[in-house]
Amino acid sequence: MSNMESIFKMSGVNRLVNISLLERGLQLLGAFTAASTVFKVVSLARLYLSPSSLSLNRWKHGNPYALVTGATDGIGWGIVDALAARGFSIILHGRDRNKLEDRRAILQEQYPSLKTEILVFDVLKDPYDNIEELVSGISHLNVTILVNNVGGIPFMPGYITLAEHDSSRIDHVIDMNARFLAHFTRYMMPILSRNGPSLIMNIGSAAEFGLPCATVYSGAKGFVLSFSEALARECKISKTPVDVLNINLGDVSTKQTPTPVRFANPLAKDFGRDVVGRVGAAVASDRNTVTPHIPHAIFLGVLKPLPEFVKVAFLRNMIQDAQALHRKVFNLKEE
């Protein structure tokens, strides 16, 4: 055999070896993709099909209290209603004592055996040095659930460019969505840990994804997501008996987001039931974040993998619609 012939033979063998290696690699990749898809489907089925009535059992021991911030309206009030219906006594936080007393009276009438407490604190006006004292007033109670719900954009029109924010608007959005949450949670941790197993639900937003004309709000909700994930892991590592969940959501029809109610945009009361019904399965499946309303989960699942130019086109329309709605509902003039 000439030198040339043996080289041809060897390269043929090498090609065969390479092809069979490639096949093997593709088979492994296929098996890995199939296994991870099956795992995702089973985990989603477990999350969304688990009986919601069992959801809170892990945190319902002793005579449990749930503390909800921003509890007088919207999503906070919806979650209060769902927790009270499951037998939790309630600590209502808000900024307006009269409105808090009205809400307390409604709860007391609907659930006569329920105990209620009130915390008055304006997250934009009151000094944060007073939070420790505020929390010490309820430290003797068996609080096993904390819902950090207070948040949003505390000015109108809400959807403005970064340049249109003045410094007080920037500070207010950060205080309302991130700074108060961090300080308040810090003081609540020893109480929740002592009463464990306990649960913290931090109400985030799909805006953490990066919503144009809501830059500071998006960043603050990104903080809520990272803060929740980090605290969840900190508790797991230190074996602190506190479960932590970021609650992700799209539009819910409330005073602040007066979007028409439809399948994708539920009423706050219905959303409250979704939250309370899903958190147990979320923690059982070791998640640190959950999107409790199924249409929101589908919407985000479709949006996130899209190419950037498609996202930009979609978000441009979405923001224009939201700005038009704000102008209509709050009687604002075109800027």
By the criterion CB under 6 A, which residues form the site for ligand NAP? 70-76, 94-96, 99, 122-124, 149-152, 154, 203, 205, 249, 251-252, 254-257, 268
Shortest separation between residue 203's beta carbon and ligand NAP, angstroms: 4
Residue found by looking up tokens 């012939």 in the block: 5
Shortest separation between residue 307's beta carbon and ligand NAP, angstroms: 25
Residue whose CB is less far from ligand NAP, 195 or 289? 289
Residue whose CB is less far from ligand NAP, 141 or 249? 249
Residue whose CB is less far from ligand NAP, 135 or 252? 252
Q: What's the angle, vertex CA 14, arms to CA 12 and CA 16, rounded to 5?
A: 70
Phi-psi region of 213 (alpha: psi -120 to 50; beta: other; left: phi over 0): left
Residue whose CB is less far from ligand NAP, 68 or 192? 68
Residues paired with residue 201 on neighbouring β-strands, in sequence order: 147, 245
Whole-angstrom distance, CA of residue 292 vs CA of residue 302 = 16
Q: State the amino acid at position 293 in one-letter form.
A: H
For the record, the structure tokens of 139 come out as 């430290």
CB burial string 167-181: b at 16+ within 10 A, e below:
eeeeebbbbbbbbbb
Shortest separation between residue 131's beta carbon and ligand NAP, angstroms: 12
Shortest separation between residue 85's beta carbon and ligand NAP, angstroms: 18
Q: Which helix H or strand E contains 27, and what residues bound it?
A: helix 3-49
Residue found by looking up tokens 């704000």 in the block: 326
Q: What's the angle, vertex CA 234, arms to CA 93 and CA 147, rounded to 5?
A: 15
Residue whose CB is less far from ligand NAP, 76 or 196? 76
Burial of 4 (0-12, 13-18, 19+ CB in 10 A): exposed
Residue whose CB is less far from ligand NAP, 220 or 283? 220
Helix (H, G, I), strand (E, B) or coil at 322: helix
Shortest separation between residue 68's beta carbon and ligand NAP, angstroms: 9
Shortest separation between residue 260's beta carbon and ligand NAP, angstroms: 12
Shortest separation between residue 25's beta carbon and ligand NAP, angstroms: 43
